Amino acid sequence: MKFALLLLVLALVSVACSSSDDAAATSDSSIATTTTGAPVTTTPTTTTATTAAPTTTTGAPATTAAPTTTAAPTTTAPTTTTTVAPTTTEAPTLPDQVWGAHGDAVWAVYFGIWPESEFTTDAFNGAIAPGEALGYEFFGWFDVHCDLGAYELLELNPDVNYIGAAIYFATEADALAVGALVGPAAIAFIPINVSCAD
Per residue in 61-102, pLDDT (tens digit) is 444 555 555 555 555 655 656 555 556 556 668 999 999 899
Residue 79 in any domain: the answer is no
pLDDT at 108 over 70: yes
Q: What is the pLDDT at residue 12? A: 63
**CA distance linking residue 109 with residue 154, whole number of Å:** 12
Averaged pLDDT of the chain = 74
Residue 124 in any domain: the answer is yes
pLDDT at 167 over 60: yes
Question: CA 163 → CA 21, 114, 121, distances in Å?
Answer: 183, 5, 11
How far apart are the two ends of the chain, measured CA to CA in Å?
220
Residue 3 in any domain: the answer is no
Report the percent of the chain where pLDDT is more than 90: 50
What CATH number should be reported for the domain holding residue 106?
Answer: 3.30.70
**Confidence label for 38 from pLDDT (cuts 50, 70 and 90):** very low
Residue 157 in any domain: the answer is yes
Residue 145 in any domain: the answer is yes
Domain region containing 164: 97-194
- Strand 188-194 and strand 97-98: pairing? unpaired
- Coarse DSSP helix, strand, coil percentages of the chain, rounded to the nearest 5 percent: 35, 15, 50
Residue 30 in any domain: the answer is no
Residue 25 in any domain: the answer is no
* Dihedral of alpha carbons 190, 194, 195, 198, sign: positive
Residue 92 in any domain: the answer is no
Question: CA 72 → CA 13, 21, 68, 69, 75, distances in Å?
Answer: 141, 131, 12, 9, 9
Q: Which residues neighbour 12 within 8 Å (Cβ) at sequence distance 6 or greater?
A: none
pTM of the model: 0.55
Q: How many domains does the chain have?
A: 1
